[in-house]
Each structure stands twice: as structure tokens, then as C-alpha cells.
Amino acid sequence: MTSPVSELIELLSLERLEDNLFRGQSRDIGTKYVFGGQVLGQALSAAQATLNEPRSAHSLHAYFLRAGNIDAPIVYDVDRSRDGGSFSVRRVTAIQHGQPIFVFAASFQKDEPGSEHQLSMPAVPQPEDVEPASAVPPEVMAKLPTKIQRWLTRQGPFEFRHVYPRDELSPPKRPPYQQVWFRLAEKVDDAPELHRALLAYASDFYLLGTATFPHGISYYQPDVQMASLDHAMWFHRTFRADDWLLYSIDSPSATGARGLARGMIYDRHGHLVASTAQEGLIRINTDGRRHPISDTAAAATPAPGSE
């Protein structure tokens, strides 16, 4: 039987149709639409595949335009915007059924030395000292929608351990920050571009959900609608996605039915390896029904503490 990690690596390994055209499959992980992290990871994989020489992704910026269909493949059209002496830029459009669902730009740089500094990692327990999440009681699980049941019972490719767990089914109000240890569940190849694509995939978990903390709401509630609107990421240092990483997230603002969240990702030795930012839709529907989001976002992800 194929493991969840092998399935994810296969998902990020795109079929090349032309020099700058790729096709990726979609995976149903219990979300209503294509998971935003999947599109991020696949778009980065497509961009990396068009580089003519070794250069490392140092930043990416993306907008989710339309909801992605889980049952259909996604075509990635790469524009080789620039290849300079030190930097390369790629723009990627993700297309389904003839329409763009996602646009993405990434910049790559030749490795070179320079001055360094970073913010220190928060003082938190080591991952071995943090308990894995408890299973949802069967009587509670039976009352949840089928899609959410599938999400909560699936064995995903990443292991997550929350330093300060929150009950997403009955969320309390608390300050808008959290720390989550995570790692890929199996060891994989050393290729840095693979680990960057894996981290791009994982970076969409738990980010926007932090903006719900002060309001005592979560995606699981039937009157709450959430979806990613954009996503930015910066890669600072080398890392391995199959070693423990700490995702330290805060949300500085929520207004106008949108929430902003920021994240810093550290390895277990305290090195800041990546930073993220995301704004997303957070809409509370007074009529108790979810409004369609096909014209506003490409992913709605019922991950605990995420979208």
C-alpha cells in the first residue's frame, strides 16, 4: 500500500506536457475544494523545473482566484520572466476547465554569502515533550459532516503537535497566536527543491485559523466560512521537511471579513528557515448557511486551526 508521504511526493511530481506546461493531479484529503497547499507546492515544483541552473527559491507570492475542483487535474503554465546573472523569476498560472484558479510568482537566487541575523525562536517545549492530538470521541465524530469526519480520521503525510492545543469543535476565545511542531512522517530524498515544495504544501496548515482565536470560532462551525485569498513565503536557510520544524504563528489584524496571519518556521536548533503571510476570508453567516466562494478563493480547508 502506498504511504501518505509517497502519495504527496507523487502529487508534487508533475507531468511535463511542454517546456513550460505541466499537469498535476488533485487529491481529496477531506476538504470541499482543492487544498491551497497542494496548489502552492505544485506551482513551486513547476517553476523549479524550468530553471536552467541550480538556483534556490527565496520568495513566492500567490493569489487564489477560484475554487479548485478536487476531481479534475490542474494545468500549470510557467512564464520564464527573467534569468539574470544572480536571480531568476517565474510566473505560474494554474488552470482548470479553461479558467485560471491561481496565480503565482517566485524568485530564485544563486547561492552566495552575506551578513546574517534572525529573530530568536520562541521558548517552547521540544516536540518529544508535546503530546499528539487526542482522537475525537466517537459520539462527537458521528455528529460531524462526512467531509470533516474524513479529515479528522485521515492519516496525513505530516505529523503535527500543538504546543497550546485548542478545541476546534468548541473553541474558546484566546489571543491570536500559536506554535505547532510538524514534520513529514517519513524520511525522503535530500533534494532541496523537494523539501521546499513540501514546506510550501505544509505552510498552508494552521495559518489563517490563528485569526479566529480571539473570536471563539472555527471552520467546523456551520455558520463560519473561511478560504485563503493569498499566500506569501520566504525561504531563508536550508532545512529538511522530514525533521521537526516549529511553526510560530500570529494574527495582527482581522477586519472587513478578512483575517491576516503571519508565520515563522524554525528548525529544532532555533534556525529561522522560512517566513509566511496569508490573508483569508473569515465570514460569519447569520443565516447559518455558507455562501458560495467560487468567485473569491481557490481553497477552503477544514484543517483544525487552519482555513
The residues annotated with a catalytic role in the active site are 204, 228, 278
**What CA–CA distance (Å, rounded) separates 211 from 102?**
23
Q: Which residues contact 189 (CB under 8 A, 6 or more apart)?
A: none
Q: Which residues contact 106 (CB under 8 A, 6 or more apart)?
A: 43, 44, 47, 57, 59, 60, 61, 89, 90, 92
**What CA–CA distance (Å, rounded) separates 241 from 235?**
13
**What CA–CA distance (Å, rounded) separates 76 from 69?**
15
- How many residues can be counted in the chain? 307
**What CA–CA distance (Å, rounded) separates 70 from 82?**
32
CA atoms within 13 A on the CB side of 27: 22
Can you say whether the dihedral through the CA atoms of 141, 146, 148, 151 is positive or negative?
positive
Cell digits for 174? 484566546
**What CA–CA distance (Å, rounded) separates 96 from 74?**
5
- In angstroms, the Cα distances linking 148 to 31, 156, 245 are 7, 14, 26
Cell digits for 28? 481529496
**What CA–CA distance (Å, rounded) separates 17 from 61?**
24
Nearest to 106 by CA among 136, 64, 66, 78: 78
End-to-end Cα spacing for the chain = 30
